[in-house]
Amino acid sequence: MISIIVTKELRTLFASPLAWVVLAFLQIILAWIFLTRVDYFLTIQAQLERVPNAPGLTEIVVVPMFGIASIVLLMSVPLLTMRLVAEERRNQTMALLMSAPISMTQIVLGKFLATLAFLAIVAGLIVMMALSLRLGARLDLGLIATNLIGLLLLAGSFAAIGLFVSCLTTHPVVAAIGTLAAFLVLWLANIAASDPDSPLHLLSLLKHFENFMNGSIAVTDLIYFVLLTATFLILSIRRLDADRLRA
Partner 1 sequence: MTTTASSELTVSAQGLSRNYGAHRAVREVSVDLRRGEVLGLLGPNGAGKTTTMQMLTGNLAPTSGEVRICGIDLIDLPTKAKSRIGYLPEVPPLYRELKVDEYLRLAGQLHKIKKSALKQQVERAKNRCALADMGKRLIGSLSKGYQQRVGIAQAIIHDPDVIILDEPTIGLDPNQIREIRALIRDLGRDHSVILSTHILPEVEAVCDRVQILHRGEVVFYDSIAGLKQFRGGQALQIGLHNPPPLAELAAAAADANIEAINANLFRVCPLGGVDPTDTLVRACVERNWGLYLLQPALASLEEVFVQLTQREDDQSEKAST
**Interface positions with partner 1 (CB under 8 A):** 1, 4, 8, 11-12, 15-16, 91-103, 244-245, 247
Cβ contact 113:6 at 8 Å: yes
- Interatomic CA distance for residues 19 and 23, integer angstroms: 6
Could you tell me the end-to-end alpha-carbon distance of the chain, in angstroms, rounded to an integer? 25
Residues 6+ apart with CB under 8 A from 98: 244
Least distance between partner 1 and beta carbon 244 (Å): 5
Least distance between partner 1 and beta carbon 211 (Å): 40
Nearest CB to partner 1, comparing residues 95 and 192: 95
Least distance between partner 1 and beta carbon 111 (Å): 14
Cβ contact 180:162 at 8 Å: no
Residue 195 identity: D
Cβ contact 147:213 at 8 Å: yes
**Helix, strand, coil distribution of the chain in percent, nearest 5:** 80, 0, 20
Least distance between partner 1 and beta carbon 124 (Å): 25
- Interatomic CA distance for residues 142 and 16, integer angstroms: 37
Least distance between partner 1 and beta carbon 177 (Å): 24
Least distance between partner 1 and beta carbon 15 (Å): 4
Nearest CB to partner 1, comparing residues 4 and 44: 4
Which H or E element spans position 242? Answer: helix 219-246
Burial 217-237 (b: 16+ CB within 10 A, else e): eeeebbebbeebbeebbebbb
